[in-house]
């Protein structure tokens, strides 16, 4: 459901400022995908969200500080996922300045990503530099990517059709099944008949 809302939001050419909590979360996710941790933080922690959510927690300031820290760390991870192919190398000090994180924290995050094979890179300790390992996808990987893209387009088209039907015909079938249809009785099988249809046939035969 959340990914559906995120895709729907990305398809909209113009978006107004978020109003509901869900819209705030979707807008924050879009900012995090771009590595923009400050915008992400502003969507999650603001006067409206504080009143609806964060001020209700005990030790609300501590909760907000924890959220800001997590947003910074996850924005760094997302930035590296998204833009690692753009860089040959990048200094950890630059990443620390971008996301306002200490170099040991940046080092720890990147090391975990490398160990778990989430990031194809190595660390040059003397220069405190992340060296990216550019890898070309194999033919099988290219085919899998093309298939995944086609499946994604198919899912997106189905969701668009479903949204259109919900907007145009929402509640139509439920109302008709309740008020205008009844189950056939007797040997007619398992279909539905409109209420009054059997009575009309009887009047015509009489």
pLDDT digits (tens, 9 = 90+) for 105-136: 999 999 999 999 899 999 999 999 999 987 66
Mean pLDDT across the stretch 14-18? 74
Q: How far apart are CA 87 and CA 131, in angstroms?
A: 8
- The C-alpha angle with vertex 109 and arms to 141 and 61, in degrees rounded to 5, equals 125
The most confident of 79-88, 97-106, 142-151, by mean pLDDT: 97-106
Q: Which two tokens stand for residue 65?
A: 């500080």
């Amino acid at each position: 459901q959340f990914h559906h809302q995120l895709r729907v939001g990305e398809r909209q050419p113009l978006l107004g400022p978020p109003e509901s909590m869900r819209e705030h979360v979707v807008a924050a996710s879009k900012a995090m995908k771009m590595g923009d941790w400050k915008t992400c933080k502003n969507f999650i922690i603001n006067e409206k969200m504080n009143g609806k959510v964060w001020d209700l927690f005990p030790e609300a300031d501590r909760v907000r500080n924890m959220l800001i820290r997590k947003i910074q760390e996850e924005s760094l991870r997302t930035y590296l996922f998204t833009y690692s192919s753009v860089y040959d190398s990048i200094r950890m000090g630059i990443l620390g300045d971008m996301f306002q994180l200490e170099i040991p924290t940046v080092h720890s995050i990147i090391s975990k990503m490398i160990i778990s094979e989430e990031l194809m890179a190595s660390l040059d300790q003397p220069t405190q530099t992340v060296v990216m390992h550019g890898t070309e996808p194999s033919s099988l990987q290219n085919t899998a990517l093309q298939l995944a893209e086609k499946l994604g387009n198919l899912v997106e088209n189905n969701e668009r059709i479903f949204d259109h039907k919900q907007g145009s015909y929402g509640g139509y079938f439920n109302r008709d099944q309740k008020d205008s249809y009844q189950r056939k009785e007797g040997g007619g099988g398992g279909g539905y008949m409109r209420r009054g249809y059997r009575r009309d046939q009887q009047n015509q035969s009489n």
